[in-house]
Homo-oligomer: A and B are copies of this chain.
Amino acid sequence: MEAIGEHFFTVQPFEVDFRGRLTFPLLINNLLNAAGHHSNDRGFGIKQLNENKKTWVLSRIAIELTRHPINAEKVKVQTWIEGLLRSFTLRNFTIIGEDNKIIGYARTIWAMIDSESRKPINLTGMGLEQYVTAKDCPIDKAGKIVDPATGTTETFRVKYSDVDINQHLNSAKYVEHIIDAFTLHKFSKREIKRFEIEYIEECMFGETITLQKTELSKTEFIIILKKEDGSIACKSRLLFTEQTFNDKYITD
């Protein structure tokens, strides 16, 4: 099977935001679904891993966009493994619009862990090497995010539709809570140019999470999610554009 996977999704009517564009958390969702299909098709998906009491844990995402998918647009996602370390895989993505132009790139880092001990598993010699491939992904890697320990805070409780099969806050739902900390005004004046998230601890069903938002400038924000015991669940950095994208792309 080829090292680079191609997966398609079509933006559905009830998936667009107030601007008529695919919501940012659902874009992340679609990338993670593409990663799931790519690994399942090659024999190292969550389902196959679970049978051996192992699982994948998403550690980081960095994504940059130059345009957002719009309602009814058929989007192509390419995904591949760029590198394999002892405890991590580096999985990249290209996002291609229906006009056949690249509209974004993403880099992710994943660890494989033992489902019971939660300890990392050595990834070398498992047959993943055959899928490691070089392909252009011209965006910076996710950098270190420092908790500014300032900013405004709000809380949310982890609910039924937030959790995955492990009863933990679903990876894409972290992103939804982070994006929901902004007003519509923000998204009518600026765009997310770059988004980074570093997943640190799992949030459990029923837990009350504190979201701390720090505005470093009009175009740079740090958002930190903290668990009830004060430990950090994830750190995120958002860079916005100075102006909205000039994207007049219409599919018909």
Contact = CB atoms under 8 A, between A and B. Distances in A.
A171 interface: yes
Given A33-B13, A36-B13, A159-B180, A165 B206 contact: no
B180 A160 contact: yes
Report the copy number of this chain in the oligomer.
2
Interface in A137-193: 159-167, 170-172, 176, 179-180, 182-184, 187
Given A13-B46, A18-B205, A23 B171 contact: no
Contact of A14 (B13, B172, B187): B172
Interface string A22-46: 0101000100110011000000001
Contacts of A179: 160-161
A201 interface: no
A180 B163 CA distance: 11
B14 A167 contact: no
A243 interface: no
Contacts of A159: 180
A167 B205 contact: no
Given A13-B32, A13-B36, A23-B160, A18 B180 contact: no
What range describes how many residues of A lie at the interface? Answer: 35 or more
Contacts of A180: 159-162
Contacts of A162: 180
A202 to B, nearest CB: 13
Contact of A18 (B16, B29, B32, B164): B164
A184 B168 CA distance: 12
Interface of A: 12-20, 23, 25, 29, 32-33, 36-37, 46, 159-167, 170-172, 176, 179-180, 182-184, 187, 205-206
